[in-house]
Amino acid sequence: MADIFVDYDRKFTDWEINELIRRAVDTLSVMAQLNTAFQNLPGIEMAGYTTLTNTLKDLVKQLDDLIKEIKPILEQLDAQGHLLDVKNQAALKALRGLLQSSEQVDLLDQITGPTQQGGQTTPSNP
């Protein structure tokens, strides 16, 4: 399993999104301090601008909430992966000590890969 990766090329980094929001909040603050004529400029009406800014803030919060949900799952994956790794290593060591024939060594190769010279095996994922 690879590192966590979402197959999506973002147009803006998290930092850029936060900067866009910050800039919008500052702009809206200035517009609110000016008279009504400045709040209704074509294409940047304050009401629509505020809605768009709040929508983006909400999306950032939703993403943050998902990340908070994912973190405990990642921690569990690591913990369980460690336990399974320890169990795999113990099983390999026990099996290696019990081998009686070349046919059995061949079976062990299914886990570790081909046996090296001298009868030593190297696990593919130690």
- 68-101 pLDDT, tens digit per residue, is 999 999 999 999 999 999 999 899 888 888 888 8
% of the chain exceeding 90 in pLDDT: 54
DSSP state of 124: S
Q: Does 61 have pLDDT greater than 90?
A: yes
- Cα 52 to Cα 60: distance, rounded to the nearest angstrom: 13
Residues 6 or more apart whose Cβ sits within 8 Å of residue 113: 121, 122, 123, 124
Average pLDDT over residues 40-58: 94
- What pLDDT was estimated at residue 114? 59
Residues 6 or more apart whose Cβ sits within 8 Å of residue 17: 56, 60
* Helix axis angle, 102-112 to 46-98, nearest 10°: 170
Least confident of 1-5, 99-103, 107-111: 1-5
The values of phi and psi at residue 35, to 5°, are -75, 175
Model confidence at 120, pLDDT cuts 50, 70, 90, reads: very low
Average pLDDT over residues 52-65: 96
- Cα 69 to Cα 49: distance, rounded to the nearest angstrom: 31
* Helix runs in the chain, H state only: 14-33, 36-39, 46-98, 102-112
